[in-house]
Amino acid sequence: MRITLRLPADLHEWLASQAKSARRSLNSEILHRLEVGRGNHSADDQSPWRRLLFPCPAPQVSDSSPA
């Protein structure tokens, strides 16, 4: 789906800067922030780049120490 979104210039600049820092497109940054905002805290795990670079799930670390 396509939409037209009007943003204040300062918000656009800030989002573009955040996207560049995270190596995302502006569109991907906005989508990421919307996903996190709606409670999908695994949004980074769903990134196409993450899936490409890290195709296997991260190993689970146990909190228990060897006795």
Q: Dump pLDDT digits (tens) for 10-46.
A: 999 999 999 999 999 999 999 999 888 888 766 555 5
* Structure tokens belonging to residue 31: 């989508």
Tell me if the pTM is above 0.75: no
Rg (Cα) of the chain, in Å, rounded?
16
What integer pLDDT is reported at residue 36 of this predicted model?
85
The residue among 63 and 58 whose pLDDT is bigger is 63
Whether 16 and 26 have beta carbons less than 8 Å apart is answered as yes
Best CA proximity match to 47, nearest among 27, 65, 18: 27
